[in-house]
Amino acid sequence: MLDKLFSPASVAVIGASQTPGKVGHDVLRNLLQGGFAGRIFPVNPRADQILGLPAVPSVESIPEPVDLAIVAVPAAGVLAVVEACGQKGIRLVVILSAGFREAGAEGIHLERDVLEVARRHGIRIVGPNCLGVMDTNARLNATFAAAMPPQGSIGFFSQSGALCLAVLDWAAGTGVGLSHFVSLGNKADVSDAEMLEAMEGHDETRVILGYLEGVDDGRRLMETASLVSRRKPIVLLKSGSTAAGARAASSHTGSLAGSAQAFAVACRQSGIVQVRTLREFLNLALGFALQKVPAGGNVAVITNSGGPGILAADACDSLGLQLPTLTQETVATLRGLLPPMASLYNPMDVLGDAQAERYSQVLDVVVRDPSIHAIMVLLTPTAMLDVPATARVIARVAKRSSVTVLACFMGEARVAEGRRILMEGGVPSYETPEEAAEVLRSMWGHRLWLERPEDRPATVKRDLGVAREVVDKVQASGHQNLSPVEVTRLLAAYGIRLPRSAVARTADESVTLAKEFGYPIVLKVASSEISHKSDLGGVRVDLRSAEEVRSAFQDITAAISRLRPEARLLGVQVQEMITEAREVIVGFQRDPDFGPLLMFGLGGIYVEVLRDVTFRVAPLSRLDIREMLREVHAFPLLQGIRGQPPADLPALETALAAITQLALDFPEIEEGEINPLMVCRNGQGVTAVDARFILRGSL
Ligand code: ADP
Ligand code: MG
C-alpha cells in the first residue's frame, strides 16, 4: 500500500500555484525538474496552466486515477481536500501544509478530523507539516525543499524537517546520495514501523536511517524492526532521551529505569543500531551504504605515521575490536615489499615516505589475510604524497575485496580531494581514527546481531488461578501495595520461594518465632508504609540468641517510633536468615511505549550507588536472560571467584523468567521488585527476602 509512495504512476499536486516561493509552486517545479516520468496533475481552481502543465479546477475533475496526492493548500482547506481525495479513490496523501498539532489546540482538533476522514476512506496520510517525499530511482521529487540528491543506497525518514534539509544537503555534498526520503512531519498516521517496512522492500536501499522525536507504537516498531534488521541495517537517532527518569521513584527499579533505557534496549533487542549524535548517524550511514558488514571484529590498521596508528589501535581496543597479528605468510610477503624500517605488525606502518604504490601493494596483501575482517587505512598528508592517487588505489582494492575497508585521511586542505575520490569509489572516509573505529564497532555489532540465534520467549510454570485471586483481592480492598502475605502468595504462584517469616507484635513473640525458625535470624520492621527499612534502622540481621532478638525488637520499634511516628506498624517481621548467598535485584516497571521493562543487577541496599544494573523489554528468551546476567559487572561474583562456589544460575534464570511472565500476565501491576533476591550456591535455589509489588492507581 505505502509502496505507491515511492513509485506512483501519477501524482496530483493539490494547491499548485503559479507564484514562485509558494509551497504549491515549488513542489510542482521540483517534480518537473526532478525528471519524474509519471503523470502530474496540478489542481488549482483559478489557473488554466501552471509551469507549462494544464491545471484542473478540482480533485474530482482530474481525468485519470491518481496514485499519490500532494496537498499544499492552507490548513483550513485540508479537510475538504482529503474528503475529495477519498471520493476520487486516492489512497495515499502527503500533507505538506502546516497549522496542525504543532500549532496549538485548534490544530490538534483539525488534525484529528483530517485523520478521521482519511480512515473512513481508507486513505493513508504522510505528515501533515512535512517536506514531502523523494525516490531518486523513480526520479520523484515531491518536496518543496530542495533539489534531488544523487541516487544512492540510503533510505531516510525523519520527523524533523530541518534535519531533512541537512541530510539532503549532506547526501548531495558528500556525493553518497539517497534512495528514498520521507519527511514524516507530525506523523499523524504513517508510522516509523511502516517506513521500515516500506523501505525494506526496495533493493536500492541498503541501509535505513530514521530520526525520531517520539515513538508512536513501540511494540510494533520492535516487531517490525526485528524482521527488517535481519535484511537491512536500521540506524535510528532519537532526540529527547535526557528528560527521562524524572519522576520521583519509590522503588530502586523506578529510580534507575527511564524511557531512555527502554528505547535503548528496545533498539538492541530488535537489531536497531541506535546512535546518540548526528555525527555518528551520518558516519554510520556512510559505512553501511558504501561498505559491506564485516564478518568479524578483527581489524588491520595501515598507516604512514606512528601516532595516528596508535590512536587507531587505542580506539579499536577500547571498543572491543581486535588488532590481531597477521599470518606468517602475510608478514613474509610484506617483508619482501616494504623497507626494513616498516612495521609489519598491526598497526602496519608503511612509513612517511610511502607513495600510493606502497599503499596499494600492502593493501593487496592484507585483504587476502584470512584473519582480517576489516581494514582501516590511515593517511597523513606528508610532503611528497600524492593524496588523490592514493585514494584511487584504496578504492580500487576495496572494490575487489570482501573485506570491509574504511579510510581516515587526516587533515583538511590537502586531503579534501582524496576524500571525495574515496567516497565516489565506495570507501567511507572519516576525519579521525576514533570515528572510523566507532563505525567499525557498530557495523560489527550488526554482524553479531545477524548471527544471533533467534529464540522463543522463555516459558515458566505458574498457578495463574492463585495469582489472579491475590491480585483481585488487593484490587477489591482498594490498596495499591501488596502486603507481605500477599507478596508471598503471589511469588509462590510463580515458583519463587520466600524465607520462613512471621510478624511478631511483642518481643516475647519474636523470641518464640526465632526459636521455631532457628538461629541465626533476621528481624525487620513490618509496615506497608515503609519502603526502605534499613534507612530507618529497621533491619537487623544475624541475630544469634534470644537476648539479641529481644534487644533487636526493642531497637527497631524505638527507631521507627522516633523516625516515623506516624507509620502504621504491623509489628516486627521475624525471618529465616539466608546465609552464604549473593544478593541480586530483579524488578520491572512499565514503559508507556514498550511495556514491561525488566531490570536485573547487583542487589542489596547499595543498588542506586553502584548502579550495576541492566534492562530488557519483555518478553525475554532464555538467551536474552543469559545475556542480561552476563552484562552486569558483578557477574563473576555469581560465577564464583576467590574460592567461592558458583551461585545457582539456572534458578536465577528461571526466577527472571518468572518475574517477566508475571509482568506480562498482570498489566494491573504497575511495578514490582525483589531486592534482594538471594542466590544460593548451585543447586540450592534462590530466595526472595524483600519484595514489593504495586498495583496501578485508579485513574
Ligand atoms: P530494605 O531493602 O527495606 O532496607 P531488606 O529486607 O532488603 O530491607 O534488608 C536489607 C538487607 O538486609 C538486605 O539487602 C540483606 O543484605 C539483609 N537481609 C534482609 N533479610 C535477610 C534475610 N532473610 N537473610 C539474609 N539477609 C537478609
Ligand atoms: Mg530490600
What does the radius of gyration of the chain's CA atoms come to, in whole angstroms? 32
Q: Ligand 1 pocket: which of 488, 527, 541, 575 to mutate (most atoms <8 Å of CB)?
A: 541
For residue 293, pLDDT beyond 70: yes
- Residue 417, classed as helix, strand or coil, is helix
User: Which tens digits make up the pLDDT trace of 18-52?
Assistant: 999 999 999 999 999 999 999 999 999 999 999 99
User: What value, to the nearest 5°, has the Cα angle with vertex 205 and ends 129 and 397?
Assistant: 135
- Give nearest CA residue, ligand 1 atom 15: 604
In this prediction, residue 245 carries a pLDDT of: 41
For residue 269, pLDDT beyond 50: yes
Q: Ligand 1 pocket: which of 481, 487, 524 to mutate (most atoms <8 Å of CB)?
A: 524
For residues 236 and 212, the answer to whether their CB atoms sit within 8 Å is yes
pLDDT band of residue 248 (cuts 50, 70, 90) is very low
- Give the ligand with the smallest distance to the CA of 535: 1
For residue 246, pLDDT beyond 60: no
Average pLDDT over residues 389-409: 97
Q: Hey, how many other C-beta atoms are within 10 angstroms of the C-beta on 27?
A: 28
User: What value, to the nearest 5°, has the Cα angle with vertex 385 and ends 381 and 387?
Assistant: 70
In angstroms, the CA 302 to CA 436 distance is 13
- Residue 539 CA to ligand 2 center (angstroms) comes to 10
* pTM as predicted: 0.93
- Report the atom number in ligand 1 closest to the C-alpha of 604: 14
In angstroms, the CA 388 to CA 111 distance is 53
For residue 244, pLDDT beyond 50: no
User: Which tens digits make up the pLDDT trace of 631-648?
Assistant: 999 999 999 888 889 999
- Give the ligand with the smallest distance to the CA of 538: 1
- Residue 539 CA to ligand 1 center (angstroms) comes to 7
- Report the atom number in ligand 1 closest to the C-alpha of 533: 3
Question: Taking ligand 2, which is a single-atom ion, which protein residues have CB atoms under 5 Å away?
Answer: 675, 690
Average pLDDT over residues 373-385: 95
In this prediction, residue 333 carries a pLDDT of: 95
In angstroms, the CA 445 to CA 439 distance is 10
Average pLDDT over residues 650-661: 98
pLDDT band of residue 259 (cuts 50, 70, 90) is confident
Q: Ligand 1 pocket: which of 539, 608, 610, 687 to mutate (most atoms <8 Å of CB)?
A: 539
In angstroms, the CA 274 to CA 211 distance is 10
User: Which tens digits make up the pLDDT trace of 667-699?
Assistant: 999 999 999 999 999 999 999 999 999 999 864
User: Which tens digits make up the pLDDT trace of 58-113?
Assistant: 999 999 999 999 999 999 999 999 999 999 999 999 999 999 999 989 999 999 99
Average pLDDT over residues 652-674: 97
- Give nearest CA residue, ligand 1 atom 16: 604
- Give nearest CA residue, ligand 1 atom 14: 604
Torsion, Cα 150 156 160 165, to 10 degrees, reads -10
pLDDT band of residue 258 (cuts 50, 70, 90) is confident
In this prediction, residue 239 carries a pLDDT of: 87
Cell numbers given for 436: 572510523
pLDDT band of residue 216 (cuts 50, 70, 90) is confident
CA 396 to chain centre: 35
User: Which tens digits make up the pLDDT trace of 137-157?
Assistant: 999 999 998 789 999 999 999
pLDDT band of residue 568 (cuts 50, 70, 90) is confident
- Report the atom number in ligand 1 closest to the C-alpha of 579: 25
- Residue 600 CA to ligand 2 center (angstroms) comes to 14
Average pLDDT over residues 557-568: 91
In this prediction, residue 97 carries a pLDDT of: 96
- Residue 532 CA to ligand 2 center (angstroms) comes to 7
For residues 659 and 600, the answer to whether their CB atoms sit within 8 Å is no
* Strand residue runs (E) in 557-690: 571-576, 582-591, 595-602, 613-617, 669-679, 686-688
- Residue 481 CA to ligand 1 center (angstroms) comes to 19
Name the percent of the chain lying above pLDDT 70.
Answer: 97
For the chain, give the mean pLDDT: 94
- Residue 511 CA to ligand 1 center (angstroms) comes to 19
Name the percent of the chain lying above pLDDT 90.
Answer: 86
For residue 241, pLDDT beyond 80: no
For residue 158, pLDDT beyond 90: yes
Average pLDDT over residues 550-554: 97
For residue 243, pLDDT beyond 80: no
Q: Hey, how many other C-beta atoms are within 10 angstroms of the C-beta on 606?
A: 11
In this prediction, residue 146 carries a pLDDT of: 77
Pocket of ligand 1 (CB under 6 A): 499, 522, 524, 532-534, 539, 541, 575, 577-578, 583, 604-605, 675-676, 689-690
Q: Hey, how many other C-beta atoms are within 10 angstroms of the C-beta on 225?
A: 24
- Give nearest CA residue, ligand 1 atom 6: 690
pLDDT band of residue 524 (cuts 50, 70, 90) is very high
